[in-house]
């Protein structure tokens, strides 16, 4: 694999030359003929065939950042088309309000009250005995690949992707490294070559910006899809590809240096807009990702894989206020209150689009309530297996394919350990938020008040009592994530107080947090 070290021209040309031949390739490459007589080849694949799965996860993309979710400023024609050709869900939730626990919830099928990883923290990792979605699908016969941001372990820890079920990986291991859109290296794992370690991108050395990592991820994804197309040579083995773009997360470090942490090769098609430059860049990042997804969809169609590939698009949490952007400028939370690091709807309700022409009727919009941790059992059922016991998630597969969805959540639960300890729980149309440990619950009726503007806790003490009971049994203690009071801040006059400023506490209509060193 020394060819990786010569720079991006090799890595970027076709990760095709390198990854199609020696990396991001299956144990049974489709270009290799079988050791059998061609006359024995069946005229068509066995039926029913299990679907391939493409799971695309954006980073800090808000509920209102796509045209199909109401954006009037950001152009996303390909994702809008994806939604029109499948199901667009309007009440889907992230596993958390920041990256690592949201991704852990997705991979493990559990909510934050039962995770060992409940926040962004250097050195945090999935554990060796924690079963991931990738491990389950790989054991079921899927060829598994991860491209882009992992964020669930650093080098040398038990939660690196190749120890958690992925046959192949290229991307970032930790969240902070993933801030850099022009990094000088990525991590790579390929057991066929074999290769495990860093891939050097010398064309980004010395501050050069010649290879934009989301572009590279798209190229890697198209190569993976070409190489691992289910066919006669690989016995119609389906693939599971998790494509984790870092778009539109900010490069926080660049933002502190220059005031604009929204990195993108060009701000087109927004160059002539009278907007602040970071807002132009953010919109351009999202539109560029949309175009990349369009190219991937074209490949699926051209290669005959479109019909039986489940394509899923979502985000890991709500929009940020980092890198020089104001999430209100582009309407990134849509009609919802809150942003990243809030447990109000804007911090945790995210887009979810599912398309599968073979089984899913197009043109659907669903208000079914579900979350990241439901993807594990849902995709397990789509793959023809039963999900393991002990998950918090439920399978939404019946709803996808037009059958009666009898299984529903009693409640959804979140907790968040930055800025003290916060909780949220959804029970039916009721949503409760505890802004800090020891504070009274706020209560909102999401059917009547999806923007969470009117706290009706005093008018419904019976509902508050019920939710307090649910909160008491929704979680288990985790030694690494103890319940802490909020940090003390200096009040006017010099007195100490546990009350956070409105800008970060959630007291404002669109509460958030200033840019920080957090992932």
pLDDT tens track, the chain, 519 positions: 333 232 333 333 333 333 433 344 433 233 333 333 333 434 444 446 999 999 999 999 999 999 999 999 999 999 999 999 999 999 999 999 999 999 999 999 999 999 999 999 999 999 999 999 999 999 999 999 999 999 999 999 999 999 999 999 999 999 999 999 999 999 999 999 899 999 999 999 999 999 999 999 999 999 999 999 999 999 999 999 999 999 999 999 999 999 999 999 999 999 999 999 999 999 999 999 999 999 999 999 999 999 999 999 999 999 999 999 999 999 999 999 999 999 999 999 999 999 999 999 999 999 999 999 999 999 999 999 999 999 999 999 999 999 999 999 999 999 999 989 999 999 999 999 999 999 999 999 999 999 999 999 999 999 999 999 999 999 999 999 999 887 764 444 444 444 433 333 333 333 333 334 456
Rounded Cα distance between 60 and 266, Å, is 20
Pair 144, 256 in one domain? yes
- DSSP line for 41-70: --SS--SSPPPEEEEEEESS--TTSSGGGT
Helix (H, G, I), strand (E, B) or coil at 506: coil
Residue 384 lies in a domain: yes
pLDDT of residue 496: 41
pLDDT of residue 89: 98
Residue at token pair 């076709």? 14
pLDDT of residue 79: 99
Rounded Cα distance between 137 and 52, Å, is 11
- What token pair was written down for 377? 């059992």
Q: Count up the domains in the chain and report the number.
A: 2
Q: H-helix or E-strand containing 511? A: none
- What token pair was written down for 122? 């250097």
Pair 164, 255 in one domain? yes
Pair 142, 257 in one domain? yes
The strand pair at 352-355 and 309-315 is best described as antiparallel
Pick the closest to residue 227 from 29, 51, 72, 385 (CA basis). Answer: 29
Which residue, 354, 375, 400, sits at the end of a domain? 400
Q: Is 515 exposed, middle or buried (0-12, 13-18, 19+ CB in 10 A)?
A: middle
Phi, psi dihedrals of residue 505, rounded to the nearest 5°: -90, -20
Long-range CB pairs of 429-433, under 8 A, 24+ apart, other chains included? 430/460, 430/463, 430/467, 431/345, 432/457, 432/464, 432/467, 432/471, 433/343, 433/344, 433/506
Rounded Cα distance between 138 and 281, Å, is 38
- Cβ atoms 393, 409 nearer than 8 A: no
Pair 481, 389 in one domain? no
Q: H-helix or E-strand containing 337? A: none
Largest CA distance in the chain: 88
Vertex 204: Cα angle to 198 and 209 (nearest 5): 140
- Cβ atoms 189, 161 nearer than 8 A: yes
Residues 6 or more apart whose CB falls under 8 angstroms from that of 322 comprise 250, 252, 255, 261, 515, 516
pLDDT of residue 268: 98
Pair 276, 366 in one domain? yes
Which residue, 354, 373, 400, sits at the end of a domain? 400
Which residue, 340, 374, 400, sits at the end of a domain? 400
Pair 103, 234 in one domain? yes
pLDDT of residue 485: 82
Pair 127, 83 in one domain? yes
Pair 343, 395 in one domain? yes
Residue 464 lies in a domain: yes
Q: What is the pTM of this model?
A: 0.88
Rounded Cα distance between 392 and 371, Å, is 10
- What token pair was written down for 338? 């809150």
- Cβ atoms 173, 187 nearer than 8 A: yes
Pair 348, 424 in one domain? no
Whole domain around residue 449: which residue ranges?
412-505
Pair 228, 285 in one domain? yes
Pair 290, 425 in one domain? no
Residue 451 lies in a domain: yes
CATH number at residue 463: 3.30.1120.10
Pick the closest to residue 276 from 289, 258, 297, 294 (CA basis). Answer: 258
- Cβ atoms 357, 85 nearer than 8 A: yes
Task: Tell me, rounded to whole angstroms, the distance of Cα 120 from its chain centroid.
Answer: 14
CATH number at residue 360: 3.40.720.10
Peptide bond into 48 cis (omega under 30): yes
Peptide bond into 285 cis (omega under 30): no
The strand pair at 239-244 and 309-315 is best described as unpaired
Residue 452 lies in a domain: yes
């Amino acid at each position: 694999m020394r060819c990786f070290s010569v720079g991006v021209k090799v890595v970027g040309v076709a990760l095709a030359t390198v990854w199609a031949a020696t990396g991001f390739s299956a144990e049974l490459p489709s270009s290799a003929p079988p050791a059998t007589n061609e006359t024995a080849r069946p005229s068509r694949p066995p039926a029913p065939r299990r679907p391939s799965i493409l799971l695309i996860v954006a980073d800090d993309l808000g509920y209102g950042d796509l045209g199909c979710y109401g954006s009037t400023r950001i152009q996303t024609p390909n994702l809008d088309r994806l939604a029109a050709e499948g199901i667009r869900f309007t009440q889907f939730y992230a596993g958390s309000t920041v990256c690592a626990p949201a991704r852990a919830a997705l991979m493990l099928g559990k909510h934050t009250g039962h995770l060992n990883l409940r926040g962004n923290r250097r050195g945090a990792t999935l554990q060796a005995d924690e079963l991931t979605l990738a491990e389950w699908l790989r054991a079921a016969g899927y060829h598994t690949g991860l491209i882009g941001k992992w964020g669930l372990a650093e080098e040398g820890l038990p939660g690196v992707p190749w120890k958690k079920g992925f046959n192949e990986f290229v991307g970032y291991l930790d969240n902070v490294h993933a801030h850099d859109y022009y990094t000088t290296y990525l991590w790579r794992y390929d057991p066929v070559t074999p290769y495990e370690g860093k891939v050097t991108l010398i064309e980004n050395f010395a501050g050069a910006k010649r290879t934009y990592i989301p572009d590279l991820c798209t190229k890697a994804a198209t190569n993976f899809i070409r190489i691992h197309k289910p066919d006669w040579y690989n016995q119609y083995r389906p693939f599971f590809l998790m494509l984790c773009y870092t778009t539109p997360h900010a490069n926080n470090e660049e933002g502190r240096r220059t005031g604009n942490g929204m990195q993108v090769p060009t701000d087109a098609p927004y160059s002539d807009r009278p907007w602040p430059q970071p807002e132009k860049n953010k919109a351009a990042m999202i539109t560029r990702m949309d175009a990349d997804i369009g190219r991937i969809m074209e490949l699926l169609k051209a290669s005959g894989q479109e019909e039986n590939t489940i394509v899923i698009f979502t985000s890991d949490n709500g929009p940020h206020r980092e890198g020089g952007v104001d999430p209100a400028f582009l309407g990134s939370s849509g009609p919802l209150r809150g942003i990243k690091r809030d447990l109000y709807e804007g911090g945790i309700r995210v887009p979810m689009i599912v398309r599968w022409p073979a089984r899913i009727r197009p043109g659907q919009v669903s208000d079914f309530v579900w979350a990241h941790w439901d993807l594990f059992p849902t995709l397990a059922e789509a793959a023809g297996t039963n999900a393991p016991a002990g998950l918090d998630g439920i399978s939404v597969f019946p709803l996808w394919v037009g059958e009666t969805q009898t299984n529903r959540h009693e409640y959804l639960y979140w907790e968040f350990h930055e800025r003290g300890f916060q909780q949220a729980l959804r029970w039916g149309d009721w949503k409760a938020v505890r802004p800090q440990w020891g504070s009274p619950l706020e209560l909102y009726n999401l059917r009547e008040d999806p923007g969470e503007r009117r706290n009706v806790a005093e008018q419904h003490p019976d509902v508050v009592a019920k939710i307090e009971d649910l909160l008491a049994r929704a979680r288990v203690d985790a030694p690494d994530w103890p319940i802490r009071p909020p940090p003390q801040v200096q009040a006017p006059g010099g007195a100490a107080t546990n009350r956070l400023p409105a800008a970060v506490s959630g007291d404002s209509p669109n509460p958030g947090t200033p840019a920080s060193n957090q992932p």
